[in-house]
Amino acid sequence: MTSEGDRPPGGPELPQGRPSPPPAGPRRLHPAEIILASLDNARDALIAIVVAVIGAASGSFGAAGLAALAVAGLVVAAVAGYVRWQHTTYEVRGPSLVFRRGVLSPDETAVPLGRVHAIDTSQGPIQRLFGVHELHVQTAGGGARGEIKLRAVTDADAAWLRAAAGLAEPAERELPGWRLGGRRLLVTALTAPQVGMLAPIAGGIAALADNVLGNSGRDLVERAPTDTGSIVLIACALLAGAWLISFAGAIVAFGGFEVVRDGDRLRIRRGVLQRRASSIPVTRVHAVVVVEGILRRPFGLASVRLETAGYRDEPAAAQTLLPLTRLTEVDATLRELVPALAPGTGRLEPPPQRARPRYAIPGVVAALAAGVAATAVWPQAWPALVLLPAMAVAEALGRHRAAGWRLEGGLVLLRGRRLARRTLVARIERLQEHRVRQTILQRRAGFADVAVAVGSGHEGGVRYLEQPTALDLFDRLR
Amino acid sequence: MDGETPEAARPEELDAARAAGGHTPEPTRRLPREARRYFVLQALVWTVPVAVAGTLGGGAIGGLGGAALAIAALLVAGVGSVPLPFIRWRRWRYEVREEELDLLRGALVVTRTLIPMTRVQHVDTRRTVISDLFELRAVVVHTAAGSHEIPALRPGEAAAIRDRIAHLARTPDDV
């Protein structure tokens, strides 16, 4: 891997004379790092403290003893935090940014400045208190490994670091872009995709609580009403709880979300408690995915995700380009932000009608087997014999209807559905690989699947195309 | 060179085929004959446990159902041990072209994958204890999205292919 080509085209645009020259020699982080490191230590020690407290509670340990223990723990955490801060330094040494940390066996990470493609900032409550930023040095294709995170850096230090890496300062002027308004934020949170995922987790927690509580839990259950209405009520309460957590999570992650196009970069700001700012060179965006979640699709709403090499291990919110948009507005918005990936508004080519049974067969077989097993164990469950296969057929028809592909300029669009309907829009020249696949049964019936992988490691594809169509698509993806 | 390892198609022919708008020519290079026994040995890693578990389980259940289970397990293990690895070997084709790596493989599910050379991040040769028994090496190609391998090559050929891919992948544009 060479470092050429990783620089933003157009070269560094430095505000003349503004950033101070990089200071010579290793530099410590802002002392706010002492607090951050202490909190880290305290959190790590918390488990030990909890164990100690539980142990003490069974013995003859008074409240004073507990307080003393807590204070001692905090003091140790603070001292360790101070020592850690003392031994954490960064400097520009030759062509590299060198980050050094650790007391007994120091670790040194050196990142060639030429490979730095962005320095993202984020600001939590503590950083905001001291007016410092957390810097996240993003490198090309680096993933989470070998990346540098500086947790407390002043504005001036951030400025010379950016200058040293040849990165432009964020434009001060107001740029055209896209902002998530208050009403849309509310709808984003109301329809957050985590809602569906959280219900089973809540159920799991309930089961776990039952195990942990043991006999008292069982008493609780025995005293609990067993009629259907109450069970439904309890389930609703659990769901509401899960949904509330998801709602709050989405507000915290996407509050104040805005994305602007600043020269050859996208700049994204988001977050309520932790304010984050990241920037991504537009050339590095290999694909976008339009996700229509189950709660959003009925209202014609969707979110758009960025697929960027080097961001593979970042949390999902970090890859969001548009948290909530009307499906009909996606093309226009992308035309403004990432014109190379605007998908157009044409229809997708569906898989052939004769493929419909193929989509259904595996699910129906599985559903029948499950129905038979359920009925064998519990004869009253016989409606499952009809209901489960019917659901499987409906699901398969939905997947068949959702599937499709289109070639548009240098783009390939591939759409499929599992729970949410996802449309991958990828630049053909940036595909990591593409493939055509055929089982022996598909071969006999003249079907084939096509799939592609993009730089973030995500894949998209369409199943059961006519074989000549699939081969033709395969050829045109080169 | 092995008689069953034909020469790669010449680049001019490929360009002609592409200019004519034809399909991408199928890859032509095959794996050496030693790979057959190597594939069989690899398959035994799962077929033997299946056979043993099926027979023991069938015996434990007893009766007609037990016998059916044992027979089914032995059948699956038998087919998986020899015929499938041989089909796998017969199907395997690869081609290292200037602009892409072309892989065609699979016994029950046939997959053809194209990996552009500009996307290759690095390339390794790999040997394991089992592959050493047959004097075989794998060539593993890594991209930002994952990795692919040509599983069984003679050492000299593996090294040559590795170096050729490394040479062709030398100038990536932008990840």
Q: Which ipTM was obtained for this model? A: 0.82
DSSP-based three-state secondary structure for A100: strand
- Chain B residues in contact with A434 (beta carbon < 8 A): 113-114
Instruction: Determine the number of helices (DSSP H) and then strands (DSSP E) in chain A.
Output: 12, 20
- Chain A residues in contact with B20 (beta carbon < 8 A): none
Evaluate whether A416 touches A450 at the Cβ level (below 8 Å): no
State the pLDDT at residue A316: 64
The chain A residue lying nearest B123, using CA atoms, is A1
Angle of helix B83-91 versus helix B34-61 axis, rounded to 10:
150
Look at B39 and A104; give whichever has higher pLDDT: B39
Whole-number Å distance between alpha carbons of B82 and B78: 7
State the pLDDT at residue A205: 58
Which chain A residues have any C-beta within 8 angstroms of a chain B C-beta?
Answer: 1-2, 5-6, 140-141, 283-284, 309-310, 312, 431-440, 443, 453-459, 471, 474-475, 477-478
State the pLDDT at residue A313: 57
Whole-number Å distance between alpha carbons of A101 and A148: 11
CA A186 to chain centre: 19
> Residue B175: pLDDT above 50?
no
Whole-number Å distance between alpha carbons of A442 and A379: 37
- Chain A residues in contact with B98 (beta carbon < 8 A): none
Rg (CA), chain B: 20
Q: Of A164-173, A219-228, A420-429, B107-116, which gets the smallest average pLDDT?
A: A219-228
Q: How far is CA A142 from CA A138, B2, B118, in A?
A: 8, 41, 17
The chain B residue lying nearest A281, using CA atoms, is B174
| Residues whose CB falls within 8 Å of the CB of residue A252, separated by 6 or more in sequence, listed in order | A271, A272, A273, A274
Rg (CA), chain A: 27
Angle of helix A228-254 versus helix A182-190 axis, rounded to 10:
140
Most confident of the following: A135-149, A187-201, A288-302: A288-302
Angle at A371 between CA A367 and CA A376, to 5 degrees: 150
**What is the DSSP code string of A446-457?**
TEEEEEEE-TTS
B115 → closest Cβ in A433, A454, A456: A433
pLDDT grade, residue A355 (50/70/90)?
very high
Whole-number Å distance between alpha carbons of A73 and B82: 64
pLDDT grade, residue A9 (50/70/90)?
very low
Is this structure's pTM higher than 0.90? no
Look at A73 and B53; give whichever has higher pLDDT: B53
State the pLDDT at residue A315: 64
> Residue A145: pLDDT above 60?
no
The chain A residue lying nearest B17, using CA atoms, is A475
Whole-number Å distance between alpha carbons of A363 and A358: 10
- Chain B residues in contact with A435 (beta carbon < 8 A): 111-114
Question: B172 and A2 in contact by Cβ < 8 A?
Answer: yes
A310 → closest Cβ in B23, B109, B175: B175
Look at B7 and A437; give whichever has higher pLDDT: A437
DSSP-based three-state secondary structure for B59: helix
Whole-number Å distance between alpha carbons of A278 and A317: 12
Task: Match 């599983």 to its residue by tokens.
Answer: B151
Evaluate whether A141 touches A310 at the Cβ level (below 8 Å): yes
Angle of helix A384-402 versus helix A356-377 axis, rounded to 10:
160
Average pLDDT over residues B139-146: 90
Give the model confidence (pLDDT) of A439-456 as tens digits: 999 999 999 999 999 988
State the pLDDT at residue A61: 59
Q: Which residues pair with A28 in a beta bridge?
A: A89
Chain B interface mutation, best of A433, A454, A456, highest count of B Cβ atoms under 10 Å = A433
The chain A residue lying nearest B142, using CA atoms, is A432
- Chain B residues in contact with A311 (beta carbon < 8 A): none
Most confident of the following: A53-62, A172-181, A224-233: A172-181
Q: Of A28-42, A223-237, A427-441, which gets the smallest average pLDDT?
A: A223-237
Q: How far is CA B129 from CA A264, A324, B38, in A?
A: 50, 52, 11
Q: What is the mean pLDDT of chain A?
A: 82
- Tell me the pairing of strands A258-262 and B137-143: unpaired
